[in-house]
Amino acid sequence: MAYDAASTRYDIMNFRRSGKSGLKLPEISLGLWHNFGDEGSLKNQRAILRRAFDMGVTHFDLANNYGVPAGSAESHFGDVLASDFKPYRDEMVISSKAGYFMWDGPYGEWGSRKYLISSLDQSLKRMGLDYVDIFYSHRPDPNTPIEETMGALASVVQQGKALYVGISSYTPEQTLAAKKELDRLGVPLLIHQPRYSMFDRTIERSGLLYTLDEIGAGCIVFSPLSQGMLTDRYLKGIPKDSRAALGVHLGEERINEVYLERVRGLSAIAEARGQTLAQMALLWTLRNPGVTSALIGASSVKQLEDNIAAIHGPDFEPEELEAIDVFAVHGTDSGSHRKS
């Protein structure tokens, strides 16, 4: 059936400005890391993407290596873009990244100019696009000068292949160096994409949030549910189809008694707030005004809807945040047995 976007799509979502730029992002963005390659059903993928846009999710986050095999998420997204979303392209923010392994040889990963620009060209072809809205350096390259990596990002803006550029998983010091070089080249650093959740509070501890505020860049956080650890999925054992059971980015050893004690405590707080743990965990990441958007994945329309409902939850009271801090212990998602 032909797709007509819901007329109410902007009545549901809240939007936040990305740093000091003119770009606003939805508080919840949809990431296509899992479930959107050949390993998933195109029918289900299309249903999720349609429902997301109908609920005001205008930002779709991809990377060259997303999907199984790598690149297939961009190809599948391109199919849906062509069949359903073409009339709405100017309402969408579509991002891609390059930095991780994509092809053999010395130019198939990291941060060289050759790799980054070649990768973006391939991504544009897979998605059937003339440009992406945001193009990221997916990870810092310890062996390539920051001037070369940022020079490549500036070039794709100047060539019209990207409207904005960002970085992902850079330290505060690397972020400042990237900003300095991009400023020299006349291209703003729009946004940083770090990992952040109740169980991974690195960006608080390292001062990255402060750095981004100082330089006027936005912050879009990935893994806000800690790969499913901040849900009720593991409270009654390890499901056979779970990431922990399958060993997909999460090992069974991380589902230990310390983790279970903490997630039970958080679940009780969420229940008292009238939310699921996942909803509370998402809203918790957005409690900080320095966070522009939280990236979620989705394997079903229902999961998508449940997660988006998080933004309409009650504001946190100070005593709730204090209670959460008892259980929201940095390092829990790495299998830490520390009690504090």
Amino acid at site 51: R
| DSSP annotation string for 315-340 | PPPHHHHHHHHHH--TTGGGT-----
**Does 253 reside within a domain?**
no
Amino acid at site 246: L
pLDDT digits (tens, 9 = 90+) for 44-91: 999 999 999 999 999 999 999 999 999 999 999 999 999 999 999 999
CATH of the domain at 100: 3.20.20.100
* Residue where the block lists tokens 């790969």: 227
Per-residue pLDDT at 239:
53
**Does 261 reside within a domain?**
no
**Does 338 reside within a domain?**
no
**Does 49 reside within a domain?**
yes
pLDDT at 340 over 50: no
Per-residue pLDDT at 238:
57
pLDDT digits (tens, 9 = 90+) for 202-258: 999 999 999 999 999 999 999 999 988 999 887 765 555 545 444 555 456 667 889
Total structural domains within the chain: 1
Amino acid at site 232: D
- Work out whether strand 24-26 and strand 15-17 pair parallel, antiparallel, or are unpaired: antiparallel
β-bridge partners, 182 = none
Hey, what's the torsion of the CAs at 314, 61, 226, 340, to 10 degrees? Answer: -80
**Does 119 reside within a domain?**
yes
pLDDT digits (tens, 9 = 90+) for 110-126: 999 999 999 999 999 99
* Residue 320's pLDDT band (cuts 50, 70, 90): very high
**Does 323 reside within a domain?**
no
Per-residue pLDDT at 235:
76
Hey, what's the torsion of the CAs at 303, 307, 309, 314, to 10 degrees? Answer: 140
Return the structure tokens found at 40.
């998933």
Q: How far apart are CA 65 and CA 74, in angstroms?
A: 9
pLDDT at 309 over 90: yes
Residue-range definition of the domain harbouring residue 133: 15-228+285-315
146: Cβ–Cβ under 8 A, 6 or more apart, which residues?
140, 174, 177, 178, 181
Q: How far apart are CA 335 and CA 324, in angstroms?
A: 19
For residues 138-159, average pLDDT: 98
Hey, what's the torsion of the CAs at 195, 201, 205, 210, to 10 degrees? Answer: 60
**Does 238 reside within a domain?**
no
Looking at every residue in the chain, the average pLDDT score rounds to 93
Return the structure tokens found at 130.
């003339």
What stretches of the chain adopt beta strand conformation (E)?
Answer: 15-17, 24-26, 28-31, 59-61, 93-98, 132-137, 162-168, 189-193, 218-221, 293-296
For residues 2-19, average pLDDT: 97
**Does 56 reside within a domain?**
yes
Q: How far apart are CA 191 and CA 34, in angstroms?
A: 22
State how far the alpha carbon of 171 is from the alpha carbons of 83, 195, 207, 211, 252, in Å.
Answer: 40, 11, 9, 10, 29
The candidate with the shortest Cα–Cα distance to 263, out of 327, 196, 205, is 327
pLDDT at 339 over 80: no
The candidate with the shortest Cα–Cα distance to 172, out of 206, 137, 149, is 206
What is the number of other CB atoms lying within 10 angstroms of the CB of residue 312? 11
